[in-house]
């Protein structure tokens, strides 16, 4: 990381995204590729049935349950301090997915990763880790800079906004961090090789997570988590819960 974290945070605030090269070294990207490919291989039959593997992309969800490497993946580097700088010390991880753009396949449409644009506030950050070099040819993420504060057009203007999109080319091991409200998409992979990434989706603890990790992880995996990992997976950020069965007062 060649610049102070504050510079990257400022960039994310103004243009909606920032890129940091060299966040993962070669042995870390190799290990992540091996783990992700192992999961893709295990899911090769169910993937197409569940539309996880289409002619556009191949996704593996819930990585921390599926491989130990992904229980601390985004927690050991400078990525977490950057997320905390922007989202607050108590930010949590609401999903961790692996995604490859299908070789020779189609591209995604521009979209947001949150329901609505929320001008002036960052609620979610997609911390995308590139495992392969990202090039225009192999389907690099494309984004519309500064779109995080504009209402997303849901009608005819979609073709128009494509003209504003830029391709984020970056070497393997980079972090591409973008506001969940930034218009973006995975692009067409015109090569015959996968274009793999890990998407670590961080958010403020009081917005809705994509996944409920406390409910989704098995007791065996939960037993292995450190207190800090539990905090990051949102074990302390759940809504309060009322148990009517143990209430000593009758309300009916
Ligand atoms: O991996 C990418 O380039 C972006 C993927 C994406 O935006 C998505 O799957 O929603």
Give residue 234 CA to ligand 1 midpoint distance, Å.
23
**Beta partners for residue 92, in sequence order:** 203
pLDDT for 154 beyond 90: no
Name which residue sits closest to atom 5 of ligand 1, judged by CA: 186
Name which residue sits closest to atom 7 of ligand 1, judged by CA: 185
| Residue 187, pLDDT score | 98
Higher pLDDT pick, 244 / 172: 172
Atom of ligand 1 nearest to the CA of 141: 3
Mean confidence (pLDDT) of the chain: 95
Q: Which residue segments constitute the domains of the chain, with CATH numbers given?
A: 5-246 (2.60.120.620)
**Beta partners for residue 125, in sequence order:** 179, 202
Q: What is the mean pLDDT of residues 43-64?
A: 98
Residue in 100, 107, 108, 125 to alter for ligand 1 test, most ligand atoms within 8 A of Cβ? 108
Q: In which residue are the tokens 């590139």 written?
A: 130
Higher pLDDT pick, 79 / 75: 79
Confidence label for 155 from pLDDT (cuts 50, 70 and 90): confident
| Residue 223, pLDDT score | 97
> 104, 138 in Cβ contact below 8 A?
no
112 lines ligand 1 (CB under 6 A): no
> 189, 139 in Cβ contact below 8 A?
yes
185 lines ligand 1 (CB under 6 A): yes
| Residue 75, pLDDT score | 80
Range in 3-17, 142-156, 172-186 with the lowest mean pLDDT: 142-156
pLDDT for 62 beyond 80: yes
| Residue 50, pLDDT score | 97
Dump pLDDT digits (tens) for 159-201: 899 999 999 999 999 999 999 999 999 999 999 999 999 999 9
Name which residue sits closest to atom 9 of ligand 1, judged by CA: 186
Atom of ligand 1 nearest to the CA of 128: 1
| Residue 48, pLDDT score | 97
Dump pLDDT digits (tens) for 226-240: 999 999 999 998 888
186 lines ligand 1 (CB under 6 A): yes
CA torsion angle 165 171 172 176 (round to 10) = -40
Query: What is the share, in percent, of the chain residues with pLDDT greater than 90?
Result: 88
Extract the tokens encoding 48: 């197409």
141 lines ligand 1 (CB under 6 A): yes
pLDDT for 2 beyond 90: no
Dump pLDDT digits (tens) for 21-42: 999 999 999 999 999 999 999 9
Cα gap 13→224, rounded to integer Å: 36
| Residue 126, pLDDT score | 98
Reading across the β-sheet that carries 166-167, which strands appear in turn? 166-167, 142-143, 184-185
pTM of the model: 0.95
Dump pLDDT digits (tens) for 107-120: 999 999 999 999 99
Higher pLDDT pick, 155 / 164: 164
Confidence label for 158 from pLDDT (cuts 50, 70 and 90): confident
36 lines ligand 1 (CB under 6 A): no
pLDDT for 98 beyond 90: yes
């Amino acid at each position: 990381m060649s610049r102070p974290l504050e510079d990257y945070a400022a960039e994310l605030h103004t243009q909606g995204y920032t890129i940091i090269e060299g966040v993962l070294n070669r042995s870390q990207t190799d290990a992540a590729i091996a783990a992700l490919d192992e999961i893709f291989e295990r899911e090769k039959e169910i993937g197409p049935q569940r539309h996880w593997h289409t002619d556009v992309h191949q996704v593996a969800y819930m990585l921390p349950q599926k491989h130990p490497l992904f229980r601390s993946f985004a927690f050991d580097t400078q990525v977490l301090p950057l997320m905390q700088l922007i989202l607050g010390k108590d930010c949590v991880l609401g999903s961790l997915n692996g995604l490859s753009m299908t070789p020779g396949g189609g591209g995604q449409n521009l979209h947001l990763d949150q329901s609505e644009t929320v001008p002036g506030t960052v609620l979610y950050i997609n911390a995308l880790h590139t495992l392969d070099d990202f090039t225009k040819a192999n389907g690099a993420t494309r984004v519309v800079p500064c779109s995080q504060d504009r209402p997303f057009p849901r009608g005819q203007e979609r073709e128009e906004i494509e003209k504003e999109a830029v391709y984020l080319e970056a070497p393997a091991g980079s972090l591409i961090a973008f506001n969940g409200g930034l218009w973006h998409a995975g692009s067409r992979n015109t090569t015959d090789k996968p274009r793999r990434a890990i998407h670590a989706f961080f958010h403020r603890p009081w917005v809705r997570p994509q996944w409920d990790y406390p409910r989704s992880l098995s007791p065996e995996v939960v037993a292995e988590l450190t207190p800090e990992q539990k905090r990051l997976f949102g074990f302390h950020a759940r809504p309060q819960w009322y148990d009517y069965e143990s209430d000593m007062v009758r309300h009916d």
